[in-house]
Structure 1
Amino acid sequence: MKKLIGLAAAFTLASSIAAFAFEPSNTECIAPANPGGGWDFTCRQVGKTMQDLGLIPGTMQVTNLAGGGGGVAYAEVANKRNDDNNLIVAASSATATRLAQGAFPGNTMDQMRWVGAVGADYGIIAVAADSDVETLSELMDMIKADPTSVSVAGGSAVGGWDHLKVLLAAREAGIEDVRQIKYVAFDGGGEAVTQLLAGSVQAFTGDASEAKGFVDSGDIKVIAVLSPERLEGDFADFPTAKEQGIDVIGANWRGFYAPGGMSDDAYAFWTDAVAKTYASDEWKAVMAQNGLAPLDMTGDAFEAFVAESIASITDLSKQIGLIK
C-alpha cells in the first residue's frame, strides 16, 4: 500500500512538472527577514503546501536574509541571482512600500518578475500580555498625553508598511502631527515582539499571521485589528480599530517575486504552482488558521496590482510627509 501511495505521489509530481519545459530542482524561497515574521511565514507555509501537493520535488529550502527592510535580499537577487530559475522570494505590502519610497537604492520593481499573491494579511496593533493597556484608544490617549512615553516596534524599516499602519491609526485617532510617533524598526516581526516582551517598547505593529503564534503562547494581546470587520475563526475575539472609533483599514498582501532574468518557462511554472497552491484545500486551511483574507492573482494581473500598490503608497507617503 505504501508503495502504491508513493507511486501515486511520484506520478502526480511528474504529471505536474511535465506540463512545463522547466523542471524544478533544489527549490528555494528567500524570506527577507529573520525567522518568526510574516515573510518567513509565507515562505515556510507555501513551501510546505507545495511539497504536500506534489508541485515541487522534495523540500523547499527557506533562506532567511535579513537587512534593510528587505533591501538586502532584493539587491542579492538583482545583482547575484538574477537568472536563478529555482528561486522565489517572499514579498508583501512592505516590499511595495520600500520600493515606493526609493528605500532600495538603485533597485526598482521592474528588475523582478512578480509571481503571484497567496492572500492578504490584516494589520494588528498589540501590547504585551501583562500590559495595563486594553484598547487602541487607551494607547492613542497615552501618545496624545506624552508622545515620548510610547515606543511602537515593527518588523519593517522606518517609513515601511508596519510604520505606516501606526501613523494611519494615529491620524484617525486625532493625532495631528503623526511624526511624533516613536517607531522602532526591527528585521522581522519576531524580533520586534522579542523587544516588546523585554519591555524595550510599549506596543507592536504587525500582521495577524505573524501575531497569532505569540497570542497562542500567551505573550501578547491584540488590542486592534485593522480590518473592516472582525476576522473569523481564532481571530474573532480581537476587536477592530473601527469598532473602537478609529476608522482605519490596513491590509498587507502576501506573495512572491522572482529574479528578473528567470526564463519564461520557469516563470510559467511558478505562477501555476502559486495558483494551484492558493486553490487547494490545504492552503484554505492555512488561511483560516492564520487570519489570511482572500487575494488571488498571478502573473500579469499581479504585476499590475503591485505597480498600482506602489503608486498608491507613494501618494500616501507624500501626504504624511515621509517623502517629498
Structure 2
Amino acid sequence: MGNETATAPEIKDGYDLPVYGLHQGHFYSLHIPALICIFLSFASAILTIVLSFRQKSFKTFFSWSKSERLVVYLAVCDAAFNMAHSMDHLHILITKDHVYPKELCQFYGFMLAVFISAQNLMVNVIAVNAFVLIFIGRQIKFGLRDYRLLLWTFGAPFVCATIAALAGQLGPNGSFCYFDGVKGTISNFLFTTVPLTIILLLNSILYGVTLREIYKKEKDIKKTLGKQALITEMRHAAARAMSVFVLVFLIQWWAMAVYGLWTFIDPAAVPATIYHLVTTFSNIGGLLNFLVYIYIKRRLHTFKPPTDISRQNCNGQESVPGS
C-alpha cells in the first residue's frame, strides 16, 4: 500500500485566505466596532465641511487661513476614506465572506490607499510647516490655490495606487479590502507601513521640538512689547494650531504602524487586540478632525491682534492665528 501525502491547497491570492475571526469568535467584535467608528467619523467629517462653509463662501476658500483650509482637506480625506471603508466592512459583515466581485474590492482598496496616503503626506507637510514657521519665521508656500500641496498629497498617492492596482496588488487581506493579503504584502509594506512609520517618527520629533521651542520663546514674548512681539506671538499661535493636526494624526495612525510592522515580521503572531486597536483608532479620523476644527475656531475667536498687524507677517503676507 503506497504512502498518501495530503497537500494543503495552494494559496494564490487574498481570496484564498480565511475571513478573519469568523471561526475564532472575533468576527463581530472586529466589524461592528469598526462600522460604529466609521459612521461616527463620516458624520463628523461631513459636519466639519458643512460648518466650515456655513459662514464663509466657497469663492473665498483660498483666502481662508491655512489651518481652516487644511481642516476641510482632511475632512474630505476622512469622508472618502470612511465611505469606501464602510462599504467593504458592511459587505463582509452581511455576507460573512470576502468582497465580490474582485474589481469592487480592488476599488475599495484603491480608495483607501489614496486617502490614507494623502492624510499621511498632508499632515507631514503641516508638521514641517509648523517647524519652519517657528525656527525660520516663514510659511511654506502651497502655491496658487494650494496646487503644490494638493498635487503632492493627492497626486502622488493616486499615481502609486494606480500602479499597484494595475499590477494586481489590491484585494482582500482577510479583514477588509486594501492590499492583497497574499500578492500585495511587499507592496503594502513599502506603500503603507514604511512611509507611515517614518512619517509618524518624523512628525513626533517635529511636534516635540516645535512645541518645546514655542514654550521656550513665549517666556521672552511676555517681556517684550510692540509689533514684533505680536507678530511672533501670532506665529506661535499658528504653529500651535498646526501642531494639533500632528497630535491627532499620531493618535489615529500609531496602531496601524504597529500592525504593519508586526504583520510583515510575523503575520501569524499578530494578536487580536492589535486588529481591534487598528479598527478603532484608524477609523476615527473624522471625529478627531472635528475636534481640531472646534479648537481652531476657538483660537481664532479668542486671539484677535490689531488689524494692521494681523494682516501681515514678516514677508508681507496675510498672517492670522492658525494661518
TM norm structure 2 = 0.29
Q: Which protein has the bigger strand share?
A: 1
Q: Which protein has the bigger helix share?
A: 2
Q: Which is greater in Rg?
A: 2
TM norm structure 1 = 0.29
